[in-house]
Amino acid sequence: MARTLGKLNFPVLNKVRLRNKEDYLLVTWEFLESFESASERDIASRLGITAATASQYISALVEEGLLNREGRSILFTPSGKKMTVPLVRMHRVSEVFAYRFLEVPWEDSHVSVMELEHLFYGEKGETLFKNLGRPSTCPHGNPTNPVERVPGISASLLQTGNYKVSRVVFEDRDLLKKLASVEAYPGREVILDTSDGVTLKTEIGEIKLFPAETQALILVK
């Protein structure tokens, strides 16, 4: 999906703890998967750090051979992608665990497990994955096999009609909370009304997808 969200203010994941290598890699993946681009400014904003701090750490990851700079864009090297795929996988498996067994609200599960993917990495993570019934997606519809392509079209590209929610890319808590308020979870039938902006309707109620850029975060089929 081409990037269309230049005006969107990306919510900070967590302002409390110091950031580590895995956080940078996970957030870079998040941007590249959702928008096909990532910049130092984006990464800094999402992690709640200064641009100077992000630039310094990203430089270290470039030196380590995990990231590349192409102009203002940040990209993975093959080694960086190889390291990040299992991190993303365990993050999403951890979301399933938190949502199902810790009763973490659907809209909070992404942020709440920013530490758990480290705990469950490796053999423990695979055991957790097996005991959860080998879920194919996280609670927001994003694949636990991060390189898998999940079908779906951006809500911003569609006309009025009946659809089914496929996934919510770039898990913005504010948007997730709105979707949860009308139970517009992955797999649920929804109506998109594009007669005046984009309104998403379910049997529970309706929400206006505003600002308009957030429409691109919801994929339907």
**Span 40-75, pLDDT tens digits:** 999 999 998 999 999 999 999 999 999 999 999 999
73 pairs with which residues across the strands?
39, 70
Residue 107 pLDDT more than 90?
yes
pLDDT value, residue 94: 93
- What is the Cα–Cα distance from 3 to 200, expressed in whole angstroms? 22
Strand-strand pairing, 153-154 and 218-220: antiparallel
Return d(Cα 8, Cα 97) in angstroms, integer: 29
Q: Which pLDDT band holds residue 11 (cuts at 50, 70, 90)?
A: low
Does 52 or 114 have the greater pLDDT score? Answer: 52
Report how far residue 57's alpha carbon sits from residue 177's, in angstroms, rounded to the nearest whole number. Answer: 32
Identify the H or E element spanning 177: helix 173-181
Percent of the chain past pLDDT 70, that is, above it, reads 90
**pLDDT given for residue 4 in this prediction:** 43
Integer-rounded Cα radius of gyration of the chain: 17
- pLDDT, residue 123, reads 84
pLDDT level of residue 120 (50, 70, 90 thresholds): confident
Beta bridge partners of 74: 69
Domain covering 21-76, topology: Arc Repressor Mutant, subunit A (1.10.10)
Residue, of 116 and 22, whose pLDDT is higher: 22
Domain ranges of the chain: 21-76, 80-131, 153-220
Average pLDDT, integer, range 118-127: 81
AA identity, residue 72: R
CB 202 within 8 A of CB 183: yes
Instruction: Tell me what percent of the residues of the chain surpass a pLDDT of 90.
Output: 69
Do the two domains 21-76 and 153-220 of this chain adopt the same fold?
no
Q: What is the average pLDDT score of the chain?
A: 88
Query: pLDDT tens for residues 12-25?
Result: 555 434 468 889 99
pLDDT digits (tens, 9 = 90+) for 137-149: 999 999 999 999 8
In this predicted structure, what is the pLDDT of residue 113?
A: 87
pLDDT value, residue 9: 52
State the pLDDT at residue 13.
56
Please report the pLDDT score of residue 7 as a whole number: 41
Q: Which fold has domain 153-220?
A: SH3 type barrels. (2.30.30)
Q: Whole-angstrom Cα distance, residue 161 to residue 159?
A: 6
